[in-house]
Chains A and B, each alone.
Chain A
Amino acid sequence: MTVKIQTADFDLSTEIAALRRGNARVGAVASFVGVVRDINDGGTVAEMTLEHYPGMTEKAIEEIIGQARSRWNVLNVLVIHRVGQLKPLDQIVLVVVAGEHRGEAFAACEFIMDFLKTRAPFWKKEQTGKGARWVEARQVDDVAADRWRLKG
């Protein structure tokens, strides 16, 4: 299980190869890549800055991975989240889950992403044509995380 908070970009193929290297029990790898869009809430986004809470952010993501592992049989997990200055088209977050079967890998990957959105301390500040603004939390993300109470 690995959690990395970094300014540098990442390469999906490299990370997947490292995660499953030498482990012949892995039958399924599910991944999610989040990307910066150039539009949000109807405004054009030129650039954004990602702030986090060093120490707590890593701990919060580790706890989310722990919850996923208690629900599904998962062999390995990697989460990379970038911070600092990012532009549209940049990759921002990566979640990779390796498991024996696809069902568990898919579910754990989505679960981790849904909880990362609502529980891990990151904050986005966007530079738009009308100046800088802090992104507001969206209720749809809370709904996405809450539905796991009914599932699984």
Chain B
Amino acid sequence: MITVLYFASLRESLGRSSEQITLPATVRDLESLRALLVARGGAWEEGLAPGRPVRAAVNQSMAHGDTRVADGDEVAFFPPVTGG
């Protein structure tokens, strides 16, 4: 089980701020997790499609497609940051 968080415009378009996901054996990194979410279709496919400017973090550190994801992790997806 992992926790997935969504922020800002992505949270709004997906209609949720967090969820628990039981990892299928095929999901081992961020890229395959993102593909799992895209396969839900609709707003998920639109918001997380490859090429969309989506950033991600694993356990609160910026991460990339090949970053490993394992049980107990906190994963977050969000748009490019706009603070300051």
Contact = CB atoms under 8 A, between A and B. Distances in A.
Interface of A: 34, 50-53, 55-56, 59-60, 81, 92-93, 113, 116-125, 134-138, 141
A123 B78 contact: yes
B82 A123 contact: yes
B7 interface: yes
B3 to A, nearest CB: 12
A55 B82 contact: no
Contacts of A119: 62, 81
B57 interface: yes
8 contacts: A59-B60, A81-B84, A121-B57, A121-B83, A122-B81, A123-B82, A134-B9, A136-B80
B42 interface: no
B74 to A, nearest CB: 9
A122 B60 contact: no
Contacts of A55: 60
A51 B8 contact: yes
Interface in B68-83: 76, 78-83
B76 A122 contact: no
A124 B81 CA distance: 8
Given A119-B62, A123-B7, A123-B9, A56 B76 contact: yes
Contacts of A120: 81, 83-84
B53 interface: yes
Given A53-B78, A134-B82, A137-B80, 18 more contacts: A51-B8, A53-B5, A56-B57, A59-B60, A93-B83, A120-B81, A121-B7, A121-B76, A121-B78, A122-B84, A123-B78, A123-B81, A123-B82, A123-B83, A125-B8, A136-B82, A137-B53, A137-B82
Instruction: Give the 6 A-B residue pairs with the shortest CB-CB distance, closest first.
Output: A122-B83, A137-B80, A123-B8, A56-B60, A117-B84, A134-B9
A52 B5 CA distance: 12
